[in-house]
Amino acid sequence: MKQTLSLIAILAAYPALAEETRQLDAHEHGVGALNIAVDGTTLAMEFHAPGADIVGFEHAANSQEDRAAVDAAVATLAAPLDLFVLPAGAECSVTQASAELESEEDHEDHAADEDHEDHEDHEEHAEHDEHEEHADEAGHTEFHAEYTLNCANPEALTEITFAYFDTFENARELEVQVITASGAQAFEVERDAPVLDLRSQF
């Protein structure tokens, strides 16, 4: 486990993972990312993708229908082996899985807060404006998930089949980074060729 964590720390030094800290409004709709670290029988994965890819919208989930769509997506993302299908022979099982929706509000401070001083007359207006701003804002969201799996027979991890693209019809591409004891390698997995060959990685 300790060794896996250090592999993940190494992952952070590679450019693809640095993208995770980018502003959400810089993300490209249709393109998500999956980082995978394999160490012994432990496989750690970190996933993120635009809300547009997963639920088809990025506005705040205010309606009951939208909230239900987000809840369903979070539940689906919490079952990684249905999305990122591993060879049965690898005997992988999920030991930890978490998924959540992140919105821009989680990442940005509200500059508007600075304008609240000394403007008695405007206070009501300011609040009103703030509300309007929120309503008009076409903010971006991303789904984020982290997984830990145990694979009894990691030598059989020869490929990953991305059923992900069948599940999420707006997703076009995943930028996949795989790090193993033999090094790190980046791949682009696209909807029309959703199988990643990992034989060169082990």
Which residues would be at the binding site for Zn ion (CB under 5 A)? 50, 58, 140
Min dist. Cβ of residue 9 to Zn ion (A): 28
Name the residue number minimizing CB distance to Zn ion: 140
Q: Please identify, using beta-carbon distances, which residue of 58 and 173 lies nearer to Zn ion.
A: 58
The angle at the Cα of 120, spanning 131 to 106, to the nearest 5 degrees, equals: 35
Q: Please identify, using beta-carbon distances, which residue of 13 and 138 lies nearer to Zn ion.
A: 138
Q: Please identify, using beta-carbon distances, which residue of 104 and 159 lies nearer to Zn ion.
A: 104
Strand pairing partners for 35?
46, 177
Q: Please identify, using beta-carbon distances, which residue of 42 and 141 lies nearer to Zn ion.
A: 141
Min dist. Cβ of residue 26 to Zn ion (A): 9
Cβ-count burial 78-97 (b if 16+ within 10 Å, e if not): bebeebbbbbeebebeeeeb
In this structure, what token pair is assigned to residue 200? 């060169």
Min dist. Cβ of residue 50 to Zn ion (A): 5
Min dist. Cβ of residue 76 to Zn ion (A): 19
